């Protein structure tokens, strides 16, 4: 029989491994602050178009934060990156093993472990990413600033004149974008979900009879055994001890001889006149 392969799972495992490798070099989301202009009052006197004030590169597997060319590492974020890297790497390997052996008894457990990981990685990456600009905007509004960080696109950020006692204005351009490993991770999550939906077709192997098999001959009738004679309900009584003892033969009476016949009686003579 031809071996079955879950092609959605096979493609998903390859894409997952590609995402893991690519995310070590290219982030999922990147934000940069540059094109700085510094001026006294409303007239800028310094314009640094090619200078980058800050750069933030994020992905579940790596985090790179630079400010004025100096990198920062947060131990908690680094530990989360290592955890996500191990989860996605094992997910890709397990999905690959499942895809070539989808009909085994343990294949459903492999699929259940592997297909959720890319989706969870995207969810837990996007939720903090959406919360970060909202928190930043709420904090800066309390300080009298209007700073907004876009998830995708370009916007300007300005410090008003007189802020913190400085009679100078500072403006910068903030740009952010999702890079291609993020979209590749979405493709991997979609393929893994499709592999889960396709699992029933490759896991179930019907018992199909060969086409050239000879038809089954009807079995001969089973002979019926004759009915057994009825069983007596009462069991024969055993002879009592008295009946089992042989009795002595009784004495027979002596034979009697018949009496002799009586002599004939003489008749008297009759006279004739």
- What's the pLDDT at 19? 94
Least Cα distance to 158 among 55, 67, 44 occurs for 44
Whether residue 95 lies inside any domain: the answer is yes
Whether residue 44 lies inside any domain: the answer is yes
Whether residue 266 lies inside any domain: the answer is no
Q: Do the beta carbons of residue 32 and residue 155 sit within 8 Å?
A: no
Q: What is the CATH number of the domain that holds 14?
A: 1.20.140
106-123 pLDDT, tens digit each: 888 888 888 889 999 999
Burial class (CB in 10 A: 0-12, 13-18, 19+), 253: exposed
Whether residue 42 lies inside any domain: the answer is yes
238-262 pLDDT, tens digit each: 555 555 445 555 555 555 566 666 6
Helix (H, G, I), strand (E, B) or coil at 77: helix
Whether residue 130 lies inside any domain: the answer is yes
pTM: 0.66
Domain extent, residue 197, equals 7-203
Whether residue 159 lies inside any domain: the answer is yes
- What's the pLDDT at 72? 80
Whether residue 255 lies inside any domain: the answer is no
Whether residue 87 lies inside any domain: the answer is yes
**DSSP conformational letter for 146:** -
Distance CA 160, CA 144 (A): 9
What's the chain's average pLDDT? 76
206-232 pLDDT, tens digit each: 555 555 555 566 666 666 666 666 665
- What's the pLDDT at 271? 46
Distance CA 64, CA 61 (A): 10
Helix (H, G, I), strand (E, B) or coil at 203: helix
Mean pLDDT by 10 residues, the chain (273 residues): 77 93 92 75 59 84 84 86 93 90 82 89 92 82 74 79 62 88 94 87 60 58 63 53 51 57 56 43
- What's the pLDDT at 155? 83
What's the number of domains the chain is made of? 1
Those residues whose C-beta lies under 8 Å from the C-beta of residue 193, and which sit 6 or more positions away, are 115, 119
- What's the pLDDT at 273? 37
């Amino acid at each position: 029989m031809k071996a079955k392969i879950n092609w959605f799972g096979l493609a998903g495992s390859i894409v997952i491994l590609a995402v893991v490798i690519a995310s070590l070099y290219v982030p999922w989301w990147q934000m940069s602050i540059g094109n700085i202009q510094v001026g006294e009052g409303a007239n800028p006197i310094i314009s640094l178009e090619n200078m980058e004030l800050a750069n933030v590169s994020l992905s579940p597997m790596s985090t790179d934060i630079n400010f004025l060319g100096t990198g920062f590492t947060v131990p908690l974020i680094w530990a989360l990156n290592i955890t996500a890297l191990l989860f996605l790497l094992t997910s890709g390997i397990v999905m690959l093993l499942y895809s070539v052996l989808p009909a085994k008894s343990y294949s459903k457990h492999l699929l259940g472990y592997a297909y959720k990981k890319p989706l969870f990685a995207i969810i837990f990456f996007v939720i903090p990413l959406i919360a970060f600009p909202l928190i930043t905007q709420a904090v800066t509004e309390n300080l009298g600033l209007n700073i907004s960080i876009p998830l995708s696109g370009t916007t300007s950020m300005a410090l008003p004149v007189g802020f913190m006692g400085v009679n100078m204005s500072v403006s910068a351009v903030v740009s952010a974008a999702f890079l291609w490993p993020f979209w590749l991770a979405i493709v991997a999550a979609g393929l893994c979900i499709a592999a889960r939906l396709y699992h029933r077709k490759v896991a179930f192997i019907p018992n199909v009879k060969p086409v050239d098999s000879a038809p089954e001959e009807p079995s001969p009738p089973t002979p019926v055994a004759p009915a057994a004679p009825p069983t007596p309900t009462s069991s024969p009584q055993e002879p009592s001890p008295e009946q089992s003892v042989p009795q002595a033969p009784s004495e027979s009476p002596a034979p009697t001889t018949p009496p002799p016949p009586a002599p004939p009686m003489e008749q008297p003579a009759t006279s004739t006149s």
